[in-house]
Amino acid sequence: MKRILTGLLFVWGSFVSVYGQQVHTGPHVKLEGSQSNVYVAGGNVNVTGEVAGDLIGAGGEVVIDGQVKKDILLAGGQVTLNGASQEDVRIIGGEIRITRDIAGDLNVTGGEVRIEEGVHIGGSLLVAGGEVRCYGTIAGDVYLAGGDVQLYGEVGGNLDVRSGNLYLNSRVNGQAKIITDKLSLGDEAWVGGAVSYWQRKGKVDWANHLAEGNEAKFDDSLKPRYAKVNWQAQVKTAAQVWMAYRLVAGLLLTLLLGVMFPRYFERKTGVMQNQPGRSFARGMFVFLGLPIVSGLAMVTIIGIPVGLVGISAFTIAATLANAATAVLGAYEWERWSKSNWSQGRLVIASLGVFMGLRMVSFVPVIGTLATFILAAITIGHLLRRTEPPVVTATEPADSSDLV
């Protein structure tokens, strides 16, 4: 829980730090030429110019071709880093590919992670992924956690691996600690320091893979940490993963709603405070009444199509509720403060409101209830028909005034 809250505060701080800066948004965003600090979000993002400051970006597909002189923070479905970075890099995504050097640390979380041959990481490497392939050279320590891990190249510091399968074909100059289901050693595998390891099938032949006078110790005491099922720990881990997934998914939904439907939310702004009770009642019907009505309708064959439509509507509303609340909240914030924000600032404000709501939801009972009520009011308000503005007709001038 503390790690999640720390992460939330970190992301919140990132939004606060970029607030007031120029933010580039849109379905397709391409930035060319020299830039200072870059904050970008969109469906497809491509940065080709040099970035003199920090780069923070998010999108469905993110490609960075230009050199970045400071930190990089990226999130996306597919993320490709083709430009060198002179400081630290942090990436979360589905498919992640690194093709150029990074002067500082690299922290990566993804489904598929690939660090290409020839890449040099000047600091430490921390990777968590389903499929991990590392062909580059890492000057510092390496921490890997994944389902299927393959490590080539060279590690300047120590190696720590937790994996389902590990193929080690790397030169490790420091110590190595390995816990895996299956360990395979390639011809180039070599470890200069002490080795402690455990694999399910038992000992491995480390001959010709160790420095002179060094030894590899099969440490059976590592087994309980890996193989013994601790249901309490498993449930806690699953809950943390689920919360992290909801956080990332919610941020992406908020981003998409803010980028794709700005006019719709603008039309809905300014009248939310009118009849909030009715909006709350509509939202409660969607969240509570609609599933019940749909379930009753599906009892009969004739009502099955109606029930399916109702369940689908409920699922869509429940999925978008928190993101829509954040976006509408940002637009209401802009109107309340009598500001005239760009779409980029509104998107950043929406993401900030979303993070604020997530923090509030961690407060037991009261926080959860408050966010639910706000979500219900938002969904109910969005279902209301937006009345056109009332235009007061001007009375025709008296004929006597024309004389």
**Is residue 43 domain-resident?**
yes
Facing residues of 210 across strands? 191
Task: Say how many C-beta atoms besides its own lie within 10 A of residue 209's C-beta.
Answer: 20
- How crowded is residue 359: how many other Cβ atoms within 10 Å of its Cβ? 15
Residue 145 lies in a domain: no
pLDDT of residue 271: 67
Dist CA 178 CA 194 (whole Å)? 11
Is residue 374 in a domain?
Answer: yes
In a domain, 244, yes or no: yes
Residue where a domain terminates, one of 74, 104, 134: 104
User: Which pLDDT score, from 0 to 100, does residue 238 have?
Assistant: 65
Domain-terminating residue out of 77, 104, 131: 104
Report pLDDT for 401: 40
User: What own/partner pairs with CB < 8 Å and gap ≥ 24 does 285-291 have?
Assistant: 286/313, 286/314, 286/317, 286/376, 286/379, 286/380, 286/383, 287/314, 287/317, 287/318, 287/321, 287/372, 287/375, 287/376, 287/379, 290/314, 290/317
Nearest CA-CA partner of 102 in 62, 134, 61, 59: 134
392 occurs within a structural domain: no
What pLDDT is attached to residue 175? 95
Number of structural domains the chain divides into: 2
In this structure, are 95 and 237 located in the same domain?
A: no
- Residue 141 in any domain: the answer is no
Roughly what angle, to the nearest 10 degrees, separates helices 304-336 and 366-383? 100
CB 112 within 8 A of CB 134: no
For residue 315, what are the domain limits? 231-383
Q: What is the pLDDT of residue 240?
A: 66
CA distance 237 to 259: 33
Domain finish residue from 104, 122, 148: 104
Q: Within a domain: residue 128?
A: no
Question: Model-level pTM?
Answer: 0.61
Average pLDDT, consecutive stretches of 10 residues, N- to C-terminus, the chain (403 residues)? 42 45 73 85 86 86 93 88 93 92 93 94 93 96 93 96 94 94 94 93 91 89 59 63 73 80 84 77 86 79 77 84 88 86 81 85 85 89 65 45 37
CA 266, CA 327: separation in Å to the nearest integer?
Answer: 10
- The pLDDT of residue 9 is 40
**81 in any annotated domain:** yes
Q: What is the pLDDT of residue 20?
A: 44
